[in-house]
Amino acid sequence: MHLNNLFSASSLFLILSWVRTLMFLLLVQDVPVSFGQENVDSSNCSVLNFTCGDLIKNISYPFWGNLRPPYCGMPGYKLDCLDGGITEIEIVSEKYRVLGIDQGNKIMTITRNDFLGEDDACLADGFDTITPNFTLFNYPPDKLTLNYGCPAFPGSNTFPNKFNCETNETSNTDAYYWSGILASAGINSPPNSVRCWKSIEVPVTVTALRRLSNDPSTTTLSSVLRAGFDVGYSDAGCHDCMKNGGECRYSSASLTCFCPSSVTNRTLCSVPGT
Ligand X SMILES: *[C@@H]1O[C@H](CO)[C@@H](O)[C@H](O)[C@H]1NC(C)=O
If one asks whether residue 37 binds ligand X (CB under 6 A), the answer comes out as no
The minimum distance between CB 236 and ligand X, in angstroms, equals 12
Closest-by-Cβ residue to ligand X is 76
Q: Which of 135, 158, 171, 184 binds ligand X (CB under 6 A)?
A: 135
CB 130 within 8 Å of CB 201: yes
Q: What is the DSSP letter of 65?
A: B
Angle, alpha carbons 205-206-210 (nearest 5°): 120
* Nearer of residues 15 and 67 to ligand X, judged by Cβ: 67
Q: Specify whether the CB–CB gap between 90 and 78 falls below 8 A.
A: yes
- CA-to-CA distance for 200 and 247, rounded, in angstroms? 41
Please report how close the Cβ of residue 41 comes to ligand X at its closest, in angstroms: 5
* Choice from 29, 47, 118, 141 touching ligand X (CB under 6 A): 47
Choose which of 33, 40, 83, 253 interacts with ligand X (CB under 6 A): 40
Chain positions 139 to 158 lying near ligand X, rule: CB under 6 A, are: none
Q: Could you say which of 53, 55, 66, 76 contacts ligand X (CB under 6 A)?
A: 76
Q: Residue 126: left (phi > 0), alpha (psi -120 to 50), or beta? A: left
Residue 6 interacting with ligand X (CB under 6 A): no
265 contributes a contact to ligand X by CB under 6 A: yes
Distance CA 186, CA 161 (A): 9
